[in-house]
Structure 1
Amino acid sequence: MAKTGVVLMNMGGPDSLEAIRPFLFNLFSDHNIIRIPRPIQKPVAWLIAKIRAEKTKEYYIKMGGKSPQKEQTLKQAKALQEKLDEDFCVVVAMRYWHPFTEEAVDRLIKEDVQEVILLPLYPHYSKTTTGSSFQEFERVYKQKKLSLPVKKIHSYHNHPLFIKSWVEKIKKDLGENYKEYYFLFSAHSLPEKVIKEGDPYKKQIEESVSLIMENFPDVRYSIAYQSKVSPVKWIEPFTDEEIVRLAREGIKKLCVIPISFVSEHSETLYELDIQYGELAKESGITDYKRVGTLQDEPFFIEALKELVLSEAGR
């Protein structure tokens, strides 16, 4: 049987303090992230990266000097490879730092795969994330003059095993007392313009949360968005503002669930844990918890396996 290449696609993160500035340059050079005239995109990206690098460096020092996303994504790839048979080759393609998409494609060529399945580690589709990763793969694909059939998994926000993985993770991290907490689902925000243009991201986030909460009928909850990175209008409410609002309403036990993330990075380890943890305490919330990301939780890896096998027709 022909070997199938499976490309796990993720954002990537700096794997050292020295990698922060080039990582930021790659991020802000992406027209899907910041829409500025293409002729000046890279010079502006260089300037933004230079300005933000020192401040961002402080975040990563508090996180241990690097993002753990690469190691965690490789661990997910290993777990998925073990679930699949030898007719599959699972590789990792990061969008903004090593291992880059080109490195992943070179490995697939070496493995002599006969078809490719693109599997983003973004459960909810947005052209700023999944769409950008697909575009980069297509660029490399054309550059290397490949002619392999390519299949794309666009989203899996409502896959039963994805939902089950979150339900089990919440119960695992909170224990038997989960009913005592208010659940605040936090997702990465997007420019409002992107949503108005038809991007399904926000609706898919809402659907995921609704399906998860069917398993917690007695728990109060809401959805908020974090990590705004430019001055244009982004989708709201913002997570920090929602934390303050909930504190004012008298919420004392708050659990934040990073619904759009499947691995740890600065948005979870620094923004949610440190920044918003301190904000919650200052606002009067006495018990602030954050559910961990799915990483290689068994039901999540099983969901990825089902997605691959379905797309491969097996």
Structure 2
Amino acid sequence: MSISKQPTPIGVLLTNTGTPFAPTKQAVRHYLREFLSDNHVIQLPRLLWLPILYGFILPTRPHRSAQLYQQIWTVDGSPMRVTMQHLEIQLQAALNQVNPHPVEVAIGMNYGQPSIQEAIKQLIKKNVKKIIALPLFPQFSNTTTASSIDRIKKALSAGTTELELSYIETYATHEYYLQALATSTRQLWNKTEEAHHLLISFHGIPERFILRGDPYQTQCQQTAQLLAAKLQLPSKAWTICYQSRFGYSRWLKPNTQKLLAELPSRGIKHIDVICPGFALDCLETLEEIAIRGKKIFLKAGGQSLRYIPALNATKTHIDLLIRLIENN
């Protein structure tokens, strides 16, 4: 009688930016301190930046940001964290069904909890020898994807267990990704039997990052153009834009909020907004676009703004992630 040895499971690590633990001034301050101390995000000399961070930003910004988080917080907690947990559970179940090799899924955030380091410890306890890292940032940027990958490598190098690591840097032009975005958009249009001017809004970054070689803007443009083509939209029926500007440096244009204030005067009174760079709904989509952005648009004379939700934990998102993992 022989006992067959169980194959070693493969770890799948989903990462994202993160979220405060609570919609309070203290929790937001802790989160912002970690986020704005990342050299990938703030590419300035420490001697210049840290006095600004600790002297001006952290004493004032957490209070206002906490009020914004309170508008979207749920009884279960942060929308991003809750959705990320649902995604983890559903992806695990789906992989168990389609993959003959055992797979263990874990989630980790660049900032906040659960951390990437904690997620890797969790996978090691489950005896994984290989990790496939999938940062949930469709368009690569040094500010997001590279930050995740560097944190993963740092956590692995600090441990005593040798693990094989592979990672997915971008899926900005992946067919399943574009199809999932198109499906979300068509679901709204089919339900209401009308299509409005489509704003395709991505998170902005400073222009100087692009000049230093960050491919983010090019990949955003590719996603927007391919999505518009899949939806068969003429050039006048959609606009690419960039949101969430921070600070006073020059950021990618056109700015989403500025555009929302201008479109009604151009005769565009009805718009739909999709944010393809956000895999999960979060403060930047639920508050900045669906609440504050809508107010800006209506105040400027617009008549309706409809936000198209992120892919979140939908089946189309699960199918996309499975395909990305299998291809890796």
TM-score, normalised relative to structure 1: 0.94
How far did residue 154 of structure 1 move? 0.3
Q: Which runs of 5+ in 2 are unaligned?
A: 1-6
Q: 1:3 aligns with which of 6, 9, 15?
A: 9
SS in 1 for 2:156: helix
User: Deviation string for 1:124-169 (max 9, x for gaps)?
Assistant: 1001000001111111111114421100100111111111111111
Partner of 1:167, secondary structure, is helix
CA–CA distance in 1 between the matches of 2:205 and 2:272?
23
Q: How does 1:84-95 map to 2 (within 5 A)?
A: 84-85=95-96, 87-95=102-110
Could you tell me which residue of structure 2 aligns to residue 68 of structure 1?
79
Aligned to 2:263: 246
Contact 1:93–1:103 at 8 Å: present in 2 too? yes
* Equivalent residue number for residue 180 of structure 2: 165
Question: CA separation of 1:215/1:176 partners in 2, compared to 1, >3 Å: closer, same or farther?
Answer: farther
Residue type matched to 2:139 in 1?
Answer: H
Q: Secondary structure at the match of 1:34?
A: coil
Q: Secondary structure at the match of 1:180?
A: coil
Q: Secondary structure at the match of 1:124?
A: coil
One-letter identity of the residue aligned with 2:151: E
Residue in 1 aligned with 2:88? 77
Matches within 5 A, 1:1-314: 1-18=7-24, 19-38=27-46, 44-47=52-55, 48-64=57-73, 67-85=78-96, 87-177=102-192, 179-218=194-233, 220-311=237-328
The one-letter amino acid of 1:151's match is: S
Where in structure 1 are there 5+ consecutive unaligned residues?
none
- Distance in 1 (CA, whole Å) between partners of 2:154 and 2:189 is 43
Q: Secondary structure at the match of 1:84?
A: helix
Cα RMSD for the two superposed structures: 1.7
**Alignment check: 8 A CA contact 2:172 2:223 kept:** yes
Secondary structure in structure 2 of the residue aligned to 1:99? coil
Checking the alignment, whether the CA contact within 8 Å between 2:269 and 2:303 is kept in structure 1 is yes
Give the C-alpha shift of residue 244 in structure 1: 2.3
Distance 2:127 2:190 in 1: 46
> So what's the TM-score if we normalise by structure 2?
0.90
Contact 2:23–2:73 (CA under 8 A) maintained in structure 1:
no
Q: What is the one-letter code of the residue matched to 1:270?
A: E
Q: What percent identity do the matched residue pairs reach?
A: 27
Distance in 2 (CA, whole Å) between partners of 1:71 and 1:190 is 26
Distance 2:119 2:165 in 1: 14
Deviations 1:236-290 (CA, angstroms, capped at 9, x unpaired)? 1100111223211101110011111111111111110121110110111101111
Secondary structure of the residue that 1:89 maps to in structure 2? strand
